[in-house]
Structure 1
Amino acid sequence: MKLVSYRRNGVPEFGAVKEDGVVVLSARLSRVPDLASLLADEVALQEARRIAAQSQVDFPLDTVDLEPVIPRPAKIICVGINYVAHAAEAGRTVGKYPVIFHRFAETLLAHGAPLVRPTVSDNFDFEAELAVVIGKGGAHISPEDAMSHVAGYTCFNDASIRDWQFHTHQYGMGKNFRGTGALGPWLVTADEIPDYRQLSIQGVLNGEVLQTGSLSELAFDIPALISYVSQALDWQPGDILATGTPSGIGFKRQPPIFLKPGDKFDVMVPGVGTLSNPVADEARAVNAK
C-alpha cells in the first residue's frame, strides 16, 4: 500500500495512492488525525488496507498539493558516512559507531516543491537517500526486533549547504536550512518490500545519473541503526530515519557540481518511488508562496 499526506482546498488529509489517484482515508477513518497516527494503530491500518483495496479513487493524485509524507515528524534522524564508497570519497573511514545527526521538521518539503538554494551560499549539494518511517515506537529495541518497528519506506534528499556544514566539526547547521529536505512522494508499507537490502538507489541531476548505490552496501544496516538510536531516544510513530547517501555527491566531484536554479534532482528507488524537485533561489521561492 502507498500512503500519502496532502492538502486539498487547503485542508490536510491523508490517503492511499492507487492507479494514479487517491483513495481518501482521513474522512473514512475520522478517529485517526493524521498519517503518523494511522501507522501507530494496527487496527486502523488494517481497515485502511481494506478500504484502499475495495474503493475506487476519489480524485487524481495530481489534483492535490502533496505534503512531506509525514508533515511534522517528531524526529528526523540522519546517518552520515554510511556507504563505504561514500566514506572513501569523503576521505573518511567507517567507525565503530554510526555518525548520527538530526534535521528539523521545518526544513522538510514535498515532492514537486522547489529545493531552496539559500541566499548565503551557492554550495548547495544533493544526497539521494532511502528513508525509513517508524510505525511502532519504543526504547532499547534489539536489532533482532527492529524491523517490526518499521512502517515503510520513502525517498529523501538530504540537500546540504556544504560550506556551512564545515564551519565547525559539528556540521548540523549545514543540514538544516529551510526548504532543503525533500521527503516523498509517498510511503510504501513494509509488507511491499520483503527485503530492503534488495533495493537500489540513484540520484539523478537533470536526467544524468550521478549517484548509484544498493541498500545492501550500508555500513550500518537498518536494524542496527534503529537499535542504536533507541538506546538514547524513544522512537515515535512517524519518526524518520534517513539511512545515508551513496557516493557521487557534487561536493567531491572535480570540478564540484552544485545545485542551481532551473535544475531538477530526482531520488529514484525502484519499488518505492521517485522523488522529484526543481531548484530555486531562496528569494524567488519565498516570493512564489
Structure 2
Amino acid sequence: MRLLTYRLKDTNDTYQVGLLKDEHIYPVEALKPYVTDEVVKSSITSDPELFYRQLPSLSALKIALEKVPETAGINKALIEFGPVVTRPSKIICVGVNYLDHVKEMGHDVPKLPVLFSKFPNALIGHNADIMGVAKSNQLDYEVELACVIGKTCTEVSESEALDYILGYTIANDISARDLQKRTPQWLQGKTLDKSTPVGPVIVTTDELNDASQLAIKSTINGEVRQISSTNQLIFDIPTLIAFISNLITLEPGDLILTGTPHGVGFAESPPRLLQSGDEVVCEIEGIGKLSNSVG
C-alpha cells in the first residue's frame, strides 16, 4: 500500500492520512465501512499523529481499499501533499553512510554509524518549497532512503530488525553547509524550518519488502547529480535499526534517514549549491519521485 498525508489545495485544513490507488487518494476514514473487525475499525483515524501510534491492521486496510468505490476517492491533482509523517517523535539521520560519499567529503570510513537528528519543524511534503536560503547561502541536496518505524522497537537484533519497519519513503536531507561546518556538531545545519522534504508516499513492506537493491538518484533542474544504489550502504538497514534501537527506543512513525550517495553539490569544485528557484527531484526505485523547488 501507499500511505500519504494530504489536504485539499488552497485550504488551511489540517492534514489527514490517505491511501493512494490509481491516481486517487482515499481518506482512511472512507475505508471504515468496509472493515468488518470492530477493533480494527476503532483504531482507524485520519489524524496523522495518532494514525501511526495506533497503527491499524494493514491487511484489513488493504482489503477495505479493494472494496471502497472509486467515487470515495479524490483526484491526486486536487490535493496538497504533507510530510508523510507530520510530527514523528524522532528523526534519526545517518551521516557518511555511502562509501563513495565518504571519499568525496574527505572523511574516514566510519567504524560505527554516524548519527545526528532533525526535528519535525524541518519536515515538508512533496511539491512544497524548500526554505533556508535566507539563512544560508550553501544549501545542499542529499537524496536518501528513509525507513518509517511501524511498532515500538527496543534492543532488537539485526535478524529481527526488518519486522519493525512499516515502510519506506524518500527524503531530501537538505544541509546548510556553512551552518553545519561552523562547529563540530552538525545539528544547526541540518534542521532549518521547512527544509527537509519527505514523501510523496510511504510504500509499506507488503509492497516493498526488500530495500537493499534500489536505484537512487537526484536531479537539479533536470541534470543528474547523484546516482547510485542502496546496495552501497556502509551500514545496511538491519544494522542501523539494531544499532539505534540498542541506544534509544524507536516508536511508531519515527523516521530513519539512511544516508546519501556521492554527487552532493558541496563536494564539487567549485561547489554547485542550491539557488532560489532550483527544482530538486529525488527518485528511488519502487517508491517514486519527490519533487521540490527552492523557495
1:19 corresponds to: 22
8 Å CA contact 2:4–2:19 kept in 1: the answer is yes
Gaps of 5+ in 1: 281-289
Alignment match of 1:53 (pick from 66, 69, 74):
66
TM-score by length of 2: 0.91
Equivalents in 1 of 2:169, 2:27: separation in Å? 20
One-letter amino acid of the structure 1 residue matched with residue 176 of structure 2: I
8 Å CA contact 2:96–2:110 kept in 1: the answer is no
Taking structure 1 as reference, are residues 49 and 38 closer, same or farther at Cα in structure 2, changes over 3 Å only?
farther
Equivalents in 2 of 1:5, 1:174: separation in Å? 26
Deviations 1:32-71 (A, max 9, x none): 3335654565653222111212223411112122110001
Corresponding pairs, count: 280
1:129 corresponds to: 144
Equivalents in 2 of 1:271, 1:265: separation in Å? 19
Taking structure 1 as reference, are residues 26 and 233 closer, same or farther at Cα in structure 2, changes over 3 Å only?
farther
Within-5 A mapping of 1:132-281? 132-280=147-295
8 Å CA contact 2:132–2:193 kept in 1: the answer is no
Aligned-CA RMSD value: 1.6
TM-score by length of 1: 0.92
8 Å CA contact 1:38–1:45 kept in 2: the answer is no
Equivalents in 1 of 2:89, 2:200: separation in Å? 19
Q: Secondary structure at the match of 1:87?
A: helix
Higher alpha-carbon deviation: 5-14 or 242-251: 5-14
How far is the alpha carbon of 1:273 from its aligned partner? 1.1
How far is the alpha carbon of 1:30 from its aligned partner? 6.0
Taking structure 1 as reference, are residues 119 and 42 closer, same or farther at Cα in structure 2, changes over 3 Å only?
closer
8 Å CA contact 2:15–2:48 kept in 1: the answer is no
Taking structure 1 as reference, are residues 111 and 43 closer, same or farther at Cα in structure 2, changes over 3 Å only?
closer
Q: Secondary structure at the match of 1:117?
A: coil
One-letter amino acid of the structure 1 residue matched with residue 3 of structure 2: L
Gaps of 5+ in 2: 33-40
Equivalents in 2 of 1:11, 1:75: separation in Å? 21
One-letter amino acid of the structure 2 residue matched with residue 155 of structure 1: I
Deviations 1:236-262 (A, max 9, x none): 000000000000000011121111111
